[in-house]
Amino acid sequence: MKQPNSIALIIPVYKDIEALKIIIEAISKQTILPNEIVIAEDAQNIEMKEFVDTINIPNVKIYHTFHEDKGWRRNKSTNNALRVVQSEYLIFNDGDCIPKSNFIEAHRMIAEDNTVFCGRRSNTGPGYSTKIRTGELDFQKYDKEYICKYF
């Protein structure tokens, strides 16, 4: 496959607006932007809708899918996202995973027809997660110094 012409990022979420804000900020600073982002909400929370309505990344379409909150139905939520996505290449990112600065670019470079790539997150642990969520540690600085901090 040549590099895909269009890339969609699908982010399944459940009420964690704080984490989603950090993810959106990280996406907005990617080396390559996706063409579209789908916030696949596994509920129907007014605060989430209000936040999604404020997302503005130039040249990136933002979609918000949702359904009634009847307990854990993440797969249904992801399927709802697939109904609106228009891009030829899909990337799925959990609603609590901050993507590295070259996340979209790396996917674009390794894209292949009829292939699914699976990745693994590294868990920063509660100490770093709390510092990132509270703003005490800038996620971009953490991204650049990741290897040093990991060990």
Query: Mean of the per-residue pLDDT values for the chain?
Result: 83
The predicted pLDDT at position 36 comes to 97
In whole angstroms, give the CA distance from residue 133 to residue 123: 14
The predicted pLDDT at position 143 comes to 67
Residues 6+ apart with CB under 8 A from 53: 64
The predicted pLDDT at position 49 comes to 94
pLDDT tens, position by position, 101-131: 888 998 898 888 777 777 655 666 676 677 7
Enter the pTM of the model. 0.82
Extended beta strands in the chain, E state: 7-13, 36-41, 61-65, 89-92
**30/117: higher pLDDT:** 30
